[in-house]
Amino acid sequence: MAALSAPIILNGIPMNLMAASLTKMMASSPNDRVVVMIQLSGGNDGLNMIIPIGQYDSYVDYRENIAIPDSGDRKYIVLDENMPEEEKLGLHPDMIGLKAMYDEQMAHIVQNVGYEDMNMSHFRGRDIFFMGGGVNDYYASGWMGRYLNETYPGYPDDYPNDEMLDPLGIEFGYAQSFAFQREEGIPAGLAIYDPNAFYDLVSGTGVEPPTWLPDTYAGEELQYLMELELKSNQYAERIKFTYDNGINSSSVSYPDVYPYDVPDNYRDNPLSWQLKNVARLISGGSKTKLFIVKVERFDTHVEQTLENDTTMGIHASLLYNVNMAVKAFYDDLSEQGLADKVFSFTLSEFGRRVNSNDSRGTDHGKAAPMLLFGPMLKPGVSGHAPDLSDLDDGNLRVEFDYRQVLTSVLKDWLETPDDVIEEVFWSDFIDSRLDLFLSPNYVQDIAKSKGLNEIDIYPNPAHTFTTLSLNLDRSLEFEILLFNTSGSMLNRVYHGTKAAGAHEFVVDVSSLPKGMYLLQVQNNSFSISRKLIVK
């Protein structure tokens, strides 16, 4: 809620915007970038999550018994006052985390996502999204499995190795989805519930594997299980090491329960512990590329809302649990200087029908919005507000194929070569992919246009002193500030004007605790930071 209050101003820059900018300025090597898929299992009702308030009367006509109100203490939250009236969107009142992240330029909404002739079966719809195909495709592998198989050739025999010690993919839960499946052999990811419990399970006493297997289907199945067990054993100690070596920020609280009226079995937040574990593994040095986390129970056919309050109930608790857990996740990563390397997105097997039913619920539908999170996203909304006057047999029409989004994730975020994208079967979407991500050099380009050509820190890591050097191509007024990763300013190193040329500034770090800090050069036109490690 603090992110929605009046901002604190420092040297003309609102602190909430500066915090987002600090994270963006620390873009990692693409080799360190991570993707987290947040599965909303059951079919999320996107129309009550993101409301087309430019068509509010039609929205209420279609779903009067569950519509989010436009007045009162729990009316919808206007996403962006600067959008055209016909495109304006409202958020469910429990989406305050999404609103804060959108204002901090760390969230992007893609409207009306799906694929042609969407299948509205839970199992088939989920398989289509996980395999990375269309309604008539039946692949033997998932898109994550194909991507990882091409990116890490020789898996599983050549892994782990010195360059890649960690599992290629991790899914939280007791079972693994189709997404990590490869064309042949064991999946490219592991399913774990708790890192320490996983280690205890696979490192316990077992039996010796057979020395001979029959040349039959049963023998092939046994071989598969043995390879899967072997790979789990190989990775168990590494997972435990990165988990034990990592931390979660002590100043960030992951939400445990929904704070309002809801049935007891919907009160606990199932996403918080999963994202908290992901953050801790990344903090501990894990190089795992793809994570899958899951929230179930979005199949809201009945009692989606309370009878006496359409803003509360089952769906409200699910939305709250998702967006508030994601907000805590990125707060945790940001305070550790890690948010810049992590991109997350939501995915559900389908949306819901526009009409509500007589049970205060919604039935299986088609298109739905996707939520994207991360500091290297271009802020805003892709696509148009759903057109409630032009429906597809009672469903929202698809504006974007989901592969247009995910191809952008592969090519622009993970910097995947076109020949690998071809092996993922998405070559047809390269040219039509969405423009979602900022250039890693965009901050440096802005600073260069204002007169700051080069900036460097040495030594780094530092023990007692470090030197910040910069090169100006014209006279420039600026200041140099030292921050910790929580955004607290520790020292104003310099404030004034320097002529064109090279300049050096000595920074005393002898009294600082070991850890990561940010040295920031800024004025009213730009703000650029560099990581500083103190040992």
Please tell me whether residues 148 and 94 are part of one structural domain: yes
Please tell me whether residues 384 and 474 are part of one structural domain: no
Please tell me whether residues 449 and 416 are part of one structural domain: no
Please tell me whether residues 501 and 384 are part of one structural domain: no
Q: How many CB atoms lie within 10 A of CB 412?
A: 18
Burial class (CB in 10 A: 0-12, 13-18, 19+), 525: middle
Chain CA centroid to CA 440, Å: 17
Range of the domain at 400: 33-203+233-429
Tens of pLDDT, residue by residue over 109-120, are: 999 999 999 999
Q: How many domains does the chain have?
A: 2
Please tell me whether residues 109 and 171 are part of one structural domain: yes
Domain annotation covers residue 464: yes
Domain annotation covers residue 447: yes
Q: How many CB atoms lie within 10 A of CB 124?
A: 12
Q: Which of 529, 514, 410 is nearest to 23 (CA)?
A: 529
User: Which of the listed residues 381, 396, 429 is the one where a domain comes to its end?
Assistant: 429
Cα separation, 95 vs 90, whole angstroms: 10
Domain annotation covers residue 193: yes
Cα separation, 92 vs 477, whole angstroms: 45
Please tell me whether residues 467 and 343 are part of one structural domain: no
Q: What is the CATH number of the domain that holds 65?
A: 3.40.720.10
Please tell me whether residues 455 and 423 are part of one structural domain: no
Please tell me whether residues 48 and 174 are part of one structural domain: yes
> So what's the pLDDT on residue 6?
36
User: Which of the listed residues 394, 429, 464 is the one where a domain comes to its end?
Assistant: 429
Please tell me whether residues 287 and 418 are part of one structural domain: yes
What are φ and ψ of residue 191, in 5° steps? Answer: -105, 125
**Dihedral of the alpha carbons of 23, 323, 354, 130, in degrees to the nearest 10:** 70
Please tell me whether residues 335 and 470 are part of one structural domain: no
Q: Which of 36, 35, 34, 46 is nearest to 348 (CA)?
A: 46
Please tell me whether residues 341 and 247 are part of one structural domain: yes
pTM value is 0.79
* Packing angle, helices 272-283 and 314-335, rounded to 10: 10
> So what's the pLDDT on residue 438?
84
> So what's the pLDDT on residue 439?
75
Domain annotation covers residue 371: yes
Cα separation, 528 vs 445, whole angstroms: 10
Ranges of the chain whose pLDDT falls below 70: 1-31, 198-213, 217-230, 440-446, 485-487
Domain annotation covers residue 220: no
User: Which of the listed residues 429, 451, 466 is the one where a domain comes to its end?
Assistant: 429
Domain annotation covers residue 310: yes
What are φ and ψ of residue 495, in 5° steps? Answer: -145, 120
Domain annotation covers residue 363: yes
Cα separation, 155 vs 220, whole angstroms: 18
Please tell me whether residues 422 and 447 are part of one structural domain: no
Domain annotation covers residue 20: no
> So what's the pLDDT on residue 220?
58
DSSP 8-state code for residue 460: S
Q: What is the CATH number of the domain that holds 494?
A: 2.60.40.1930
Tens of pLDDT, residue by residue over 332-389, are: 999 888 998 999 999 999 999 999 999 999 999 999 999 999 988 988 999 999 999 9
Helix (H, G, I), strand (E, B) or coil at 392: strand
3-state helix, strand, coil in the chain (%, to 5): 30, 25, 45
Cα separation, 470 vs 453, whole angstroms: 7
Check if the beta carbon of residue 533 is closer than 8 Å to that of residue 462. Answer: yes
